[in-house]
Homo-oligomer: A and B are copies of this chain.
């Protein structure tokens, strides 16, 4: 079997577990944080730098790549791995999240969605079959069924309709999937309604996908409600398949979601915040443009050993940021990704050494408080 998920250890008194995802392009240790490379590039980074930071899985965006340069072009050039010079595991989302985040440009119906290109306003049609066909052309190791990410808040009638729509699209996506070397994941929706979350998890599971995503969370709902829905969704997913919490999130979210049994995450938080000068440190987040750093000779985080912290002062990073220098985006992104990927390594280590309970208690107090966990539009 080309795609295999093996749970190697479980934490006592928790759903947290570590495992190995095997894909045609290599292994991924879970829980995994997946840097977002929307347009076939993790903004400001080379693949070699991502590898050095410990990234094992990258995400690219079906919606954006199908508009430019086009899935056929990438297929002709040997597929997405070769196109972006990343010969390691890759995941593509289905475009479902863009139906949500670019809703002003979209019109949804039972069969699929018609949308205006944000590039030139031209009309395009995305169906479950088309989303899978595009992803077959791109050739990522993990691909996603087309779904509708339900906004929050949402009336129960629409949530019920949309949850069934996503289920019917999951069946059609599965039927259309042609490449056994790519693992097609199902997506659980259901908004914030317990019965819909349970129904979605059960019926998606009945389709027997090699992995399951939990979608439609961190879209504006209160955190307790998010975790309640996460708990419900995971409870009705099979133990032996990877669980992927889409578009989440912050360090706090990782701890809570891993505790709920989640194995995979992706989010633009570290990379986008880096470009905006918001840096994660063991003592909290800092805004590098703060005047307090004008002549600060220290590194961003004295406990960090990333390239940025080894060689550059806060004063220099502030200068680069104020000067709108490209190197600012680079050095800040290196640091934030180092923080996120290192946290995920610590999480795996804590589970492996049966110290998850202690670790999660300690780290929750240390982690930067952060209210920006709202699912940001990908990009």
Residues of A whose CB lies within 8 Å of any CB of B are: 39-41, 43-46, 68-69, 73, 76-78, 83-85, 294-295, 297, 311-313, 315-316, 318-320, 322-323, 325-327, 329-330
Which residues of B lie under 8 Å from residue A316 when comparing CB positions? 40, 77, 83-85
Please report whether the interface of chain A is mostly helix, strand, loop or mixed according to DSSP.
loop
- Residue pairs across A and B with Cβ atoms less than 8 A apart, 28 shown, are A39-B319, A39-B320, A39-B323, A39-B325, A40-B319, A41-B320, A41-B325, A43-B325, A43-B327, A44-B326, A44-B327, A44-B330, A46-B327, A69-B295, A69-B315, A69-B318, A69-B319, A73-B294, A73-B295, A73-B315, A76-B295, A76-B297, A77-B295, A77-B316, A84-B316, A85-B311, A85-B312, A326-B330
| Closest B residue, CB atoms, query A324 | B39
Q: Which of B40, B312, B322 sits near A68, CB closer than 8 Å?
A: B322
Q: Give the Cβ gap from A113 to chain B, nearest Cβ, in Å.
A: 23
Which residues of B lie under 8 Å from residue A297 when comparing CB positions? 76-78
Q: Give the Cβ gap from A275 to chain B, nearest Cβ, in Å.
A: 8
Which residues of B lie under 8 Å from residue A76 when comparing CB positions? 295, 297
Q: With the chains together, A319 CA to B41 CA distance in Å?
A: 10
Q: With the chains together, A282 CA to B264 CA distance in Å?
A: 46
Q: Give the Cβ gap from A262 to chain B, nearest Cβ, in Å.
A: 30
| Closest B residue, CB atoms, query A318 | B69
Given A68-B322, A322-B68; A83-B327 close (CB under 8 Å)? no
A329/B326 in contact, CB under 8 A: yes
Given A294-B69, A295-B76, A295-B77; A83-B325 close (CB under 8 Å)? no
Given A73-B295, A294-B69; A45-B323 close (CB under 8 Å)? no
A83/B315 in contact, CB under 8 A: yes
Which residues of B lie under 8 Å from residue A329 when comparing CB positions? 326
Q: With the chains together, A68 CA to B321 CA distance in Å?
A: 11
Which residues of B lie under 8 Å from residue A84 when comparing CB positions? 316
A68/B327 in contact, CB under 8 A: no
A46/B330 in contact, CB under 8 A: yes
Given A69-B315, A77-B316, 12 new contacts (CB under 8 A): A39-B320, A39-B323, A39-B325, A45-B327, A46-B327, A46-B330, A69-B294, A77-B295, A77-B313, A84-B316, A85-B311, A326-B326
Which residues of B lie under 8 Å from residue A315 when comparing CB positions? 69, 73, 77, 83
| Closest B residue, CB atoms, query A75 | B295
Q: With the chains together, A323 CA to B67 CA distance in Å?
A: 11
Which residues of B lie under 8 Å from residue A41 when comparing CB positions? 320, 323, 325, 327
Given A85-B312, A330-B46; A68-B323 close (CB under 8 Å)? yes
Q: Give the Cβ gap from A213 to chain B, nearest Cβ, in Å.
A: 26
Which residues of B lie under 8 Å from residue A330 when comparing CB positions? 44, 46, 326, 330
Which residues of B lie under 8 Å from residue A319 when comparing CB positions? 39-40, 68-69
| Closest B residue, CB atoms, query A42 | B327
Q: Give the Cβ gap from A79 to chain B, nearest Cβ, in Å.
A: 12
